[in-house]
Structure 1
Amino acid sequence: MGLIIIVVNASIRILILAVFIYVLLRYFLDPNHPIITTLGRIVEPLLAPIKKHVPPIGGLDLSPLILMVGLQILGMVLVSVLRRFG
């Protein structure tokens, strides 16, 4: 069971890091850059439902922040469930 918890934690951290890097690089790189398009294929499907329900506030898109917090909460819940039933 410990290995599954490690995999869940690592997966959540990698996803959060991917979101952070994607958002950061969108400010510095061309939108058609291969890194942006690759990360976009991973991150945009996760951001799309949030963007539908949370409009930008003062021109600031909060969907990446909401996604990262949501992923963090999901990771804590999954680990808690795994520890309880493991």
Structure 2
Amino acid sequence: MNLLISTLLTFIGIYTALLFIRVLLTWFPNINWFDPPFSILSQLTDPYLNLFRSIIPPLGGIDFSPILALLALQLISGLLRSF
């Protein structure tokens, strides 16, 4: 059981870092999301972010879905650490 929780916590940590990188890269408007390194990052993170975009659409051009996505990952991580 400890191995499973440890693996899940590692995955959540890596995925959180990928989401954070994705958010930081959105500050640069000249990035082409169809180029290989960025398209891979987009393919990995967009399905998860789209779950939260369906709950809260972008308001005034600001996308709040990454905040909710990161909070959800931190909540899950905290719950797993309590086991």
Asked whether the two chains share a fold, i.e. TM above 0.5, the reply is: yes
RMSD across aligned positions (CA): 1.6
Q: Given the alignment of the two structures, is residue 64 of structure 1 paired with residue 66 of structure 2, yes or no? A: yes
* Consecutive unaligned residues in structure 1, runs of 5 or more: none
TM-score normalized with structure 2 length = 0.82
Question: Is the Cα–Cα contact under 8 Å of residues 33 and 42 in structure 2 kept in the other structure?
Answer: no
Q: Which amino acid aligns with 1:40?
A: S
Select the structure of larger CA radius of gyration. Answer: 1
Could you tell me how far apart the structure 2 residues matched to 1:36 and 1:76 are?
29
| CA deviation string 1:10-67 (max 9, x = no partner) | 1111111111111222333222221221011111110112111202223210101110
Q: 2:49 aligns with which of 44, 47, 68?
A: 47
Which structure dedicates a bigger proportion of its chain to helix?
1
Question: Is the Cα–Cα contact under 8 Å of residues 9 and 80 in structure 2 kept in the other structure?
Answer: no
* Consecutive unaligned residues in structure 2, runs of 5 or more: none
Structure with greater contact order relative to length (CA < 8 Å, sep ≥ 6): 1
Could you tell me how far apart the structure 1 residues matched to 2:80 and 2:68 are?
18
Q: Deviation above 6 Å: which 4+ runs of structure 1?
A: none
Q: Which amino acid aligns with 2:43?
A: R
Identity rate, percent: 32
Q: Which position in structure 2 is the counterpart of 1:78?
A: 80
